[in-house]
Structure 1
């Protein structure tokens, strides 16, 4: 097939024309739900709305606004009204936002219809359970991950052909770039500095070098909301270790994974009770002896993205960062 690119980035699906921001992601999902009866049926059944499995009467509304705000997706059937609020990354909608949407479902509930508030993000179920209410104004709140949606797409794809299969193929390809699942070929590394300060019964460096994990707060401080494929660790004015991220989890309290940090507030760290992302690290990627020097500029505690190939081939970290910018990768 002919390669088609936009702004220098190759497009794998028609949904790429929308971009990869949050409204584009929900628009793509809404469109595919409206074009694939099989996906819509599985979507409703997973919500426990089996009485709505006849999807011929389902209406999909995107970005419906009123004085309370703008919803992402609303589904209307003869027996149910569903509001879906989607987020990129592992952030989940707040209770205040969900409470604002609940009155839209009042009329449906009064009429005896099933109602649901669905949150979509890449938060783990355990953390979503910690931060989301079970219901808001009497409406059940259900959290799904984008992986749950991928599972539904895969199940539906195996049952359909023709145009319906094409739309599902397109959505599956698009979600690889638009949700928290970075394509395995994404070669950006997130570069961070690691101190030798004690945190609990180990130093921050020991967690990375020996325990093969790295963690940071879920929200605030400009941290990523999409897990990187690679992490590059600096200390003593050089990148000393680079690893692929094997997997990650979100914990409501760091003490769930590291009991010794329960009462540790040292080194100016955020309270360990805040929700954190914990990455598991793969094998070390070989580096030159002595690591990759930062360069003349003092990077201090700066955090930034850098292309892995530039990091491994440029003389310094600073030059690798500049080359990454020049290539348009950040």
Structure 2
């Protein structure tokens, strides 16, 4: 990776980053590499358990009809695979996938495939085994990364080039953020509760965890931040690297002593982050930041600016803040 080329102030680690990092861009990057790498196409075909060989498969992007527009279609004489790709942990809903059922009625072996950062275990709780009689499969982006790494060891020439480009691209465009990324997501850790024995602050300081509603709605991140900062009583009090994360259907799955019915939000899907050790910090006042605002700032700016508000402003002047 090089800093010689930048877009919106950020390095461009792969040619695919010139497209962007939205869902349409992700799908286009995957489709291009599937066409350039027979090994990746074969591995993907095996993962969705489609019959026949993918060697003679035709790949189509953005196929539209009266029912909607598919992200990606891969078809040969044996099977037709419709792929709905998502960014983050979301999976496509039944209503969305059912729109594609009519166009698959003439295929000898139709398949609907969900592709996202969701684990297979979480996707299984959200997706049925079939829709309209058509089997549904889920492939995590992690599985694609696994296949890419394996293929890169033996690929040569142009195939190796494009496999490497996609590896670099997915490292920043999907759930796996670059560990060197210095953006910090700063939130309030209040003394309120979800009805259980712990306050929100207790989860951060004692349980070494943080959680928020899953799904990327209402401004919550779609991908785990690299760092989390917590503030209360007028100061940033704690900053931690996020070690890992997982999605649970309800908070009681992780903390059974949270009473059911006490707070409606506890019984909806949440993403839980496990926190690393505390990063030493000095006095970082939060004056000028709206009380409950969730903000992004660069780690070095938080540590060097007079306060959080100044860190947010100076960070935005240096580079665009994450939007996902």
TM-score range, shorter chain: over 0.9
Q: Which residue matches 2:192?
A: 197
Q: Which runs of 5+ in 1 are unaligned?
A: none
How many residue pairs get aligned? The number is 318
> In the aligned structure 1, how far is the partner of 2:303 from the partner of 2:174?
27
Structure 2 partner of 1:164: 159
Contact 1:188 1:308 in 2 (8 A): yes
- 8 Å CA contact 2:289–2:309 kept in 1: the answer is no
Q: Is residue 2:145 matched to residue 1:150?
A: yes
1:140 and 2:135 correspond:
yes
Q: Secondary structure at the match of 1:260?
A: coil
Q: Is the 8 A contact 1:230 1:243 kept in 2?
A: yes
Q: 1:321 pairs with 288, 312, 319, which one? A: 312
Aligned structure 1 segments of 4 or more residues deviating by more than 6 angstroms: none
Matching residue of 2:113: 118
Alignment of 1:183-222 (within 5 A): 183-199=178-194, 200-219=196-215, 220-222=217-219
Task: Summarize the Cα distance change of 1:298–1:169 in structure 2 as closer, same or farther, 3 Å threshold.
Answer: closer
| Counterpart position of 1:248 | 245
2:172 to 174, 177, 187: 177
Separation in 2 of the partners of 1:204 and 1:39?
44
Task: Show the counterpart of 2:300.
Answer: 309
Distance 1:198 1:8 in 2: 40
Equivalent-residue separation in structure 1 for 2:295 and 2:44 (angstroms): 38
> CA shift at 1:140, angstroms?
1.0
Alpha-carbon distance between aligned partners in 1 of 2:255 and 2:62, rounded to the nearest angstrom: 42
Please tell me whether the aligned partners of residues 8 and 319 of structure 2 are also in contact (alpha carbons under 8 angstroms).
no
User: How is 1:67-106 mapped onto 2 (pairs within 5 angstroms)?
Assistant: 67-106=66-105
Structure 2 residue aligned with 1:277: 271
2:106 is matched with which residue? 107
Q: CA RMSD in A?
A: 1.5
Quote how far apart the aligned CAs of 1:147 are: 0.5
Matching residue of 2:285 = 293
What is the rounded CA distance, in whole Å, between the counterparts of 2:146 and 2:220 in structure 1? 28
Q: CA deviation at 1:177?
A: 1.5
Give the conservation status (yes or no) of the 8 Å contact 2:9–2:320.
Answer: no
Deviation string 1:133-168 (CA, Å, 9 cap, x unpaired) is 111001111111110110111122223211111110
Distance (whole Å) between structure 2 residues aligned to residue 50 and residue 16 of structure 1: 33
Distance 1:229 1:325 in 2: 17
| 8 Å contact kept, 1:180–1:227 | yes
SS of match in other structure, 2:106: helix
SS at match of 2:267: coil
Structure 2 distance, partners of 1:231, 1:19, is 25
TM-score (norm 2): 0.94
Structure 2 gap ranges (5+): none
Q: Does 1:230 align with 2:231?
A: no
Tell me how far apart the structure 2 counterparts of residues 22 and 2 of structure 1 sit (CA, whole Å).
25
The DSSP-based 3-state class of the residue aligned with 1:156 is helix
Q: SS of the residue aligned with 2:290?
A: coil
